[in-house]
Amino acid sequence: MKRQIIHIDHEKCNGCGLCIPDCPEGALQLIDGKARLVSDLFCDGLGACISTCPQDAIHIEEREAEAYNERRVMENIVKQGEMVIRAHLEHLDAHGETRFLNEALEYLVEQDIAVPEFGKKKTPAHQAQGQAHQHVHKHIHAGGGGCPGAAAMTIVREGSGTGEAGQAGPVASQLRQWPVQLKLLNPAAQYFDNAHLLLAADCVPFAYGDFHNRFLKDKIVIMFCPKLDPYVEEYVDKMTAILTTHEIQSITVLHMEVPCCGGVNMILKKAMERAGKNIFVKDYTISIKGEII
């Protein structure tokens, strides 16, 4: 499968080994004086090792790689003791990887291994398991090459935020994740699980005044420009990965009335064909004057 995974520039790597402790999954080793990715299987693609590299030798790339396997990772981690187990659980928790965290906790319970306290508040793991996290989750991965500004983030809205366009006062944002641009999105991000997707051309939020309340609310948004973005094949591949990896409940498509905007539907159609999916799609065309046609 095509997914996010680290890449080490061995020309830049000086073999300092500072990245090794930041990979509790055991995907990195020093071999012949260079840090090496020894197993795609153990690399979760979150990039915890990036920030400690003084040579800027580690980046995130998207390529064909064996799917990350949390249970296999845990088999390797438990051999290294409680400190490494705790580091791994905190790593998953801090990056919002709820599914992998739950798999790790389940593995520990099945193997009758004590679950250490973890997280900023040292929450006992048996309490953390199954809880809905009520804070923002981040992890540094996706197309920005490890750029923190492209880190995947789930945004939990406390209130319903139902302020309507035209009412006095600001209209509450309905954005539920970051980033929003398809170029930067990670197909493996947890917020795609059981999501209602909104595919919107870049110009739509500027043209349609009630974009947040009418369309964005309770959806995960994917944005791109089918005319100006030179990544059509990459976009088809990434959408295919999203549709293949996650159970998607519905898809809403928003595009402008101009002919060049029809590429939004084309990219989705190709992705659904490749993924072998038949998902219900609502298609809306927005006029330049900001009306639904």
State the pLDDT confidence band at 152, using cuts at 50, 70 and 90.
low
CA separation (Å) from 163 to 11, 29, 174, 215? 54, 53, 10, 13
Identify whether 209 is part of a domain: yes
Could you tell me the pTM of the whole model?
0.50
Q: What's the structural domain count of the chain?
A: 3
**Burial bucket for residue 156 (CB in 10 Å: 0-12, 13-18, 19+):** exposed
pLDDT digits (tens, 9 = 90+) for 107-147: 898 888 888 887 655 554 444 434 323 333 333 333 444 44
pLDDT digits (tens, 9 = 90+) for 175-191: 999 899 999 898 888 89
Tell which of 64, 86, 110 closes a domain.
64
Identify whether 165 is part of a domain: no
Q: Could you count the other beta carbons within 10 Å of the beta carbon of residue 187?
A: 22
Instruction: State whether 55 and 85 are in the same domain.
Output: no
Instruction: State whether 55 and 89 are in the same domain.
Output: no
Identify whether 76 is part of a domain: yes
- CB contact at 8 A, 74 and 43: no
Identify whether 139 is part of a domain: no
CA distance 198 to 195: 9
Instruction: State whether 268 and 249 are in the same domain.
Output: yes
CA distance 104 to 89: 8
Query: What tokens does 292 get?
Result: 């639904």
Tell which of 20, 47, 64 closes a domain.
64
Say which residues have a Cβ less than 8 Å from residue 228's Cβ, sequence separation at least 6: none
The residue range of the domain holding 228 is 155-159+173-286
Instruction: State whether 36 and 87 are in the same domain.
Output: no
Q: Which of 1-5, 203-207, 248-252 has the lowest mean pLDDT?
A: 1-5
Instruction: State whether 232 and 178 are in the same domain.
Output: yes
**Average pLDDT of span 152-168:** 55
pLDDT digits (tens, 9 = 90+) for 38-68: 777 778 888 878 888 999 999 988 888 777 7
Closest CA to 251 of 237, 268, 233, 267: 268
Instruction: State whether 264 and 189 are in the same domain.
Output: yes
CA distance 202 to 112: 51
Tell me, what CATH number does 231's domain have? Answer: 3.40.50
Rounded (10°) CA dihedral 252, 257, 259, 265: 0
Identify whether 106 is part of a domain: yes
Instruction: State whether 119 and 223 are in the same domain.
Output: no
- CB contact at 8 A, 175 and 216: yes
Identify whether 147 is part of a domain: no
β-pair partners for 37: 28
Mean pLDDT score of the chain? 81
